[in-house]
């Protein structure tokens, strides 16, 4: 349950590293003198992405609800998510990041993560409207389509429990795709709405509110969309049970899926 | 309680107390007969049971401040499943239209978080039941991206996926045209559409054991190779499909009645499509040839030759026209894939047995199950195999932490899957960007200002499937 880098939505906390102008970091990587046999040496700090820890896994087999008889119960391994990427990003990503940094103010992009061939910009929530406006309108960016908005609930990411991800595509600039990630704490689940820029986000934000309880400030009609209007709770949150009734078959009883032994 | 009944052309309400029998005109301006005692009145109720419709319309017209809001659905034969359309009408003109959804919400995404990565296929295939193969493929591409095995998927597996997807595309378009025609009152269109789709479902049954909800595409490849005779069966239905689609084309495309109902209806131009995130035939009917099979090829689509037809009318007729043409293009792809599959035998699953296991299946007389050879090995020969089988079935494989988004061009537009893993054996979160869900937002833009009868046409031209919308 530890959190290595600073949460993304505390803007004044970290003005330093991730907001350095793009050129500086690019130069830094070029500057390193070509030492013979450098590939055998450990990577220099700041040249490789450092993973973000969100939670910890114990034991070897993933079962939590039974006594451990394997002898591996003391094993503890961190759950590491990809961390902030380091320049150069490679491929189109440098061009996208340069254009976005040019189109936005300092500090509007908290972190850039590159993982599995996809680029993710982590945006402090108060800057989201300005950033999406720049993403849509800047000629070098032109992300016309906001394809999807959805939430992910990370109870182990203390202070940033609710993540909202936006998938954008630019059809003008060669069908590029990017992802935006915005976080909010459970105690204050407010994120500005992007409906003003992308009307397509309307129902997607309503679904995210319905399923995760994220309040999109400025949404024209933030009501439930999939669940009944008077439904209590937000079903896709991790603290919301799946529910179900035990199944009885030939005298034996199978508990509902969320109460069965799990190996995750 | 009051019970309405009709008498001599005007509506009369009978109350329990005979003294309370009143004519509707005598009622209080705000009378709401259905409100319980003490409940706030929702406004005046116009009862349309019996009597002359013109009287009711006339009565409403005498009060211009009154709005008529009509609920079409959620149980209405022409709203494509349990879609509720909330229409404000003025005479026959729709002044405001909103869609109410959620009646088919089944919590599939939540359920997937409690099953293994492989079992996820069984759940997501039930989302949009008319294009199960596309949902499975989008999910599997996302999981493969998370696993980092995208490059290891055997070419034959990708080709089989393409074959199944293109057949599925034809099937989905046939249902769209068929039900769309039925909603206009043209039952022959429906019978032809479903007759032709049956040929495709027969192929699906032969290949995967199931006509719908196939769970055939699995992370790492497909559940099993094509059975003997499948390629010949596909070859056999191609000319039959050609004939059937041609029949539909002749019946529909130049039909003056159909054109009278469809041309100029449900107009949404390119700007509107961009703003509302619309993809698929709706966007292509506005003139933009966005097709992910061409734009960002996956599953080896770059190998096949096909065209992306477009129109510029941006109306219901052009969408219908495009769907017919897309079926021809899909048939072109099917022919190429069949030739490729004929000549290139090979594995249909990644080599990594940990990921590949649950796909060692075969189709038996009672559907798909473990292959007899596999059962013989784990039960009779190898204890090690049994242990591995047991652990992989009960626990599944682990997927490294992270998130991935994969999109495919479904018959309705971009179908994306956003999968998040926490390093466990189950999806931490799987979200589907359903084209039906997104495109249904266009209802207001398509219907407002049009006739009530055009609402049916406009909604049919979106081709929403509520299983996909509500998930």
Distance from CA of B175 to the nearest CA of A (A): 25
**How distant, in Å, are the alpha carbons of B121, B132, B167, B222, B417 from that of B161?**
14, 12, 10, 7, 17
- ipTM for the complex? 0.81
A contacts of B115 (beta carbons < 8 Å):
257
Q: Could you give the 3-state DSSP secondary structure of residue B402?
A: strand
What pLDDT does residue B136 have? 93
Query: Is residue B90 within 8 Å of B452, Cβ to Cβ?
Result: no
CA B6 from centre of chain: 43
Q: Of B395, B397, B357, B391, which is closest to residue B374 (Cα–Cα)?
A: B357
Query: How close does chain A come to B433, measured CA to CA in Å?
Result: 6
3-class secondary-structure state, position B251: helix
CA-based nearest distance A149→chain B, Å: 8
CA distances in angstroms from B303 to B51, B294, B354, listed in the order given: 65, 10, 30
Interface of B with A in 388-427 (CB under 8 A): 394-396, 401-405, 407, 414, 416, 418, 420, 422-426
For chain B, what's the residue count? 471
Please list every residue in chain A whose beta carbon sits closer than 8 Å to the beta carbon of residue B113: 242
Instruction: Note the pLDDT tens digit of each residue in A223-263.
Output: 999 999 888 999 999 999 888 888 888 888 888 888 887 77
* pLDDT on residue B420: 94
Residues 6+ apart with CB under 8 A from A57: A76, A77, A78, A79, B423, B424
What residues of A are in contact with residue B427 (Cβ under 8 Å)?
none
Which of A120, A145, A226 minimises the CB distance to B470? Answer: A226
Domain residues of chain A, as ranges?
Answer: 11-19+49-63+72-259
Q: Say how far apart CA B140 and CA B419 lie, in whole Å.
A: 10
Instruction: State the Cα–Cα distance between residues B319 and B316, nearest whole angstrom.
Output: 5
Query: Which pLDDT does position B282 carry in this prediction?
Result: 92
What's the mean pLDDT when you consider all of chain A? 81
Specify the higher pLDDT residue, A210 or A63: A210
Which residue of A199, A226, A227 is in closest CB contact with B276?
A: A199
Residue A41: pLDDT over 80: no
Three-state SS letters, A195-232: CCCCCCHHHHHHHHHHHHCCEEECCCCCCCCCCCCCCC
Q: What is the pLDDT of residue A5?
A: 46
Provide the mean pLDDT of chain B. Answer: 85
Higher pLDDT, B303 or A33: B303
Which residue of A lies nearest to B296 if distances are taken between CA atoms?
A: A175
Give the residue, A132 or B33, on which the prediction is more confident: A132
Burial B99-130 (b: 16+ CB within 10 A, else e): bebbbbbebbbbbbbbbbbbbbbbbbbbbbbb
pLDDT in the model for residue A45: 66
- Reading the block at residue A2, the tokens are 């530890």
**How confident is the model at residue B421, as a pLDDT?**
93
Q: Which residue's entry shows tokens 């769309």?
A: B180
Confidence band for A8, pLDDT divided at 50, 70 and 90: very low
Q: How far is A95 from chain B (nearest CA, A)?
A: 19
Helices within B209-255 (DSSP H only): 230-252
- CA of B441: which chain A residue's CA is closest? A203
Give percent helix, percent strand, percent coil of chain B, each to the nearest 5: 50, 15, 35
Q: Which domains does chain B have, with CATH numbers?
A: 3-100 (no CATH), 108-470 (1.10.645.10)
- Which pLDDT score is estimated for B371? 80
- pTM of the predicted protein model: 0.83
- Chain B residue with the nearest C-alpha to that of A263: B395
Q: Is B105 on the interface with A (CB under 8 A)?
A: yes
Tens digits of per-residue pLDDT, B251-288? Answer: 988 889 889 989 989 899 999 999 999 999 999 999 99
In this predicted structure, what is the pLDDT of residue B21?
41
CA dihedral of residues B275, B280, B284, B288 (deg, nearest 10): 60
Please name the residue of chain B whose CA is at the shortest distance from the CA of residue A156. Answer: B422
- Our CA-based measurement puts residue B253 at a distance from the nearest CA of chain A, in whole angstroms, of 31
Of B403, B424, B433, the CB nearest to A148: B433
What confidence category does residue A38 fall into, taking pLDDT thresholds of 50, 70 and 90? low
Tokens at A28, concatenated: 């830094």
- Mutation target to probe the A interface, by most A beta carbons within 10 A, among B113, B422, B432, B464 is B422
pLDDT at B44: 65
Give residue A20's pLDDT.
Answer: 43
In the predicted model, is pLDDT for residue A18 greater than 50?
no
> What is the distance in angstroms between the Cα of A140 and the nearest Cα belonging to chain B?
18
User: pLDDT band for position A1 (50/70/90)?
Assistant: very low
pLDDT reported for residue B62: 59
Superfamily of domain A11-19+49-63+72-259: NADH:ubiquinone oxidoreductase Nqo5 subunit (3.30.460.80)
Residues of chain B with pLDDT under 50: 1-30
Residue A24 token pair: 């500086």
d(CA A4, CA A111): 14
- pLDDT at position A182 is 94
Whether the CB of B236 is below 8 Å from some CB of chain A: the reply is no
> Using CB atoms, which residue from A117, A203, A264 is nearest to B424?
A264
Among A75, A145, A234, most B C-beta atoms within 10 A, so best to mutate, is A145
Cβ neighbors of B149 (< 8 A, separation 6 or more) are B220, B350, B352, B355
What is the C-alpha separation between A208 and B183, in angstroms, rounded?
Answer: 33
- Rounded Cα–Cα distance for residues B469 and B102 (Å): 8
Cα–Cα distance measured from residue B252 to residue A70, given in angstroms and rounded to the nearest whole number = 68
Dihedrals φ, ψ of B204, to 5°? -60, -40
Q: Given this model, what pLDDT does residue B369 score?
A: 76
Which DSSP symbol is given to B349?
B
* DSSP string computed for chain A: ----SPPTT-GGG--SGGGS-HHHHHHHHHHS---TTGGGSPPPTTSSPPPEEEEEEESSS---SS---SS-TT-EEEEEE-----S---TTHHHHHHHHHHHS-TTS--EEEEETTEEEEE--GGGHHHHHHHHHH-TTT---EEEEEEEEE-TTSTT--EEEEEEEEETTTTTEEEEEEEEE-TTS-EEE--TTT-TTHHHHHHHHHHHH--EEET-TT---SSS-TT--S-TTSTTS------EEETTEEE--GGGS----
Per-residue buried b or exposed e for B49-59, using 16+ beta carbons within 10 Å of the residue's own CB: eebeeeebeeb
* Of B396, B425, B429, Cβ closest to residue A152: B429
Please, where are the H alpha helices in B211-298? 230-252, 256-262, 270-275, 281-285, 292-295
Report DSSP letters for B420-467, one per residue.
EE-SSSS-SEEEEE-HHHHHGGGHHHHHTTSBHHHHHHHHHHH---HH
User: Which alpha helices (H) appear in B62-125, and where do they start and end?
Assistant: 108-112, 119-124
Q: Tally A–B CB contacts below 8 A.
A: 123
Instruction: Identify the pLDDT of residue B69.
Output: 84
Residue B284 confidence (pLDDT): 93
Q: Do B109 and A236 touch (CB under 8 A)?
A: yes
pLDDT computed for residue B235 by the predictor: 93
């Amino acid at each position: 349950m530890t959190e290595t880098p600073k949460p993304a939505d505390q803007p004044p906390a970290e003005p330093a590293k991730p907001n350095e102008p793009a050129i500086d970091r690019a130069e830094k990587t070029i500057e390193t003198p070509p030492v013979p046999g450098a590939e055998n040496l450990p990577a220099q700090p700041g040249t490789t992405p450092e993973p973000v820890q969100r939670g910890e896994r114990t034991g070897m087999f993933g079962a939590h609800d039974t006594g451990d008889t394997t002898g591996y119960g003391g094993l503890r391994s961190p759950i590491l998510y990809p961390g902030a990427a380091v320049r150069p990003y490679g491929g189109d990503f440098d061009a996208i990041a340069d254009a976005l940094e040019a189109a936005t103010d300092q500090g509007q992009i908290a972190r850039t993560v590159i993982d599995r061939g996809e680029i993710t910009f982590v945006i402090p929530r108060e800057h989201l409207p300005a950033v999406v406006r720049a993403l849509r309108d800047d000629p070098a960016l032109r992300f016309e389509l906001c394809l999807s908005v959805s939430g992910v609930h990370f109870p182990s990411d203390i202070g940033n429990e609710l993540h909202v991800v936006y998938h954008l595509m630019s059809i003008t600039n060669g069908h590029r795709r990017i992802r935006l990630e915005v976080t909010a704490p459970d105690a204050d689940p407010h994120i500005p709405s992007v409906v003003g820029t992308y009307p397509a986000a309307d129902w997607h934000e309503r679904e995210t509110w319905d399923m995760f309880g994220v309040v999109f400030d400025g949404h024209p009609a933030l009501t439930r969309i999939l669940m009944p209007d008077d439904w209590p709770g937000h079903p896709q949150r991790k603290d919301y049970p799946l529910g179900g009734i035990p199944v009885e078959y030939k005298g034996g009883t199978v508990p509902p899926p969320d109460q069965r032994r799990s190996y995750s | 309680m009051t019970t309405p009944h009709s008498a001599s052309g005007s509506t009369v309400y009978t109350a329990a107390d005979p003294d309370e029998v009143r004519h509707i005109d005598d009622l209080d301006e705000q009378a709401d007969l259905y409100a319980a005692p003490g409940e706030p009145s929702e406004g005046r109720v116009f009862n349309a049971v019996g009597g002359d419709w013109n009287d009711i319309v006339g009565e409403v017209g005498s009060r211009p401040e009154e709005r008529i809001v009509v609920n079409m659905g959620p149980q209405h034969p022409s709203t494509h499943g349990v879609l509720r359309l909330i229409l404000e009408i003025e005479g026959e003109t729709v002044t405001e239209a909103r869609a109410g959804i959620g009646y088919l919400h089944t919590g599939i995404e939540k359920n997937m978080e409690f099953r293994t990565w492989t079992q996820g296929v069984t759940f997501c295939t039930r989302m949009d039941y008319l294009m199960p193969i596309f949902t499975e493929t989008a999910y599997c591409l996302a999981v493969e991206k998370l696993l980092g095995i995208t490059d290891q998927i055997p070419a034959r597996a990708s080709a089989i996926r393409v074959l199944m997807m293109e057949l599925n595309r034809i099937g989905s378009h046939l249902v769209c045209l068929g039900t769309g025609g039925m909603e206009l009152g043209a039952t022959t269109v429906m019978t032809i559409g479903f007759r032709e789709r049956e040929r495709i479902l027969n192929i699906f049954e032969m290949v995967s054991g199931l006509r719908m909800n196939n769970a055939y595409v699995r992370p790492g490849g497909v559940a099993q190779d094509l059975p003997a005779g499948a390629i010949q069966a596909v070859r056999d239905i191609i000319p039959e499909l050609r004939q059937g689609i041609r029949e539909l084309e002749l019946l529909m495309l130049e039909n003056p009645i159909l054109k009278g109902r469809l041309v100029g209806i449900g107009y949404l131009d390119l700007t509107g499509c961009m703003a509302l995130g619309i993809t698929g035939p709706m966007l292509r009917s506005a003139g933009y040839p966005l097709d992910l099979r061409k734009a960002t090829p996956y599953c080896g689509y770059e190998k096949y030759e096909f065209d992306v037809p477009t129109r510029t009318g941006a109306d219901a007729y052009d969408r219908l026209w495009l769907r017919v043409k897309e079926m021809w293009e899909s048939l072109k792809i099917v022919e190429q894939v069949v030739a490729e599959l004929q000549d290139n035998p090979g594995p249909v699953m990644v080599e990594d047995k940990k990921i590949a296991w649950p796909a060692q299946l075969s189709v038996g007389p009672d559907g798909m199950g473990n292959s007899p050879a596999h059962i013989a090995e784990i039960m009779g020969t190898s204890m090690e195999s049994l242990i591995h089988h047991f652990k992989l079935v009960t626990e599944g494989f682990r997927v490294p932490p992270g998130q991935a988004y994969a999109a495919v061009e479904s018959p309705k537009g971009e179908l994306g899957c956003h999968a998040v893993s926490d390093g466990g054996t189950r999806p931490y979160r799987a979200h589907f960007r359903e084209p039906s869900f997104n495109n249904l937002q266009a209802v207001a833009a398509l219907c407002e200002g049009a006739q009530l009868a055009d609402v049916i046409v406009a909604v049919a031209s979106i081709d929403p499937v509520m299983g996909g919308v509500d998930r």
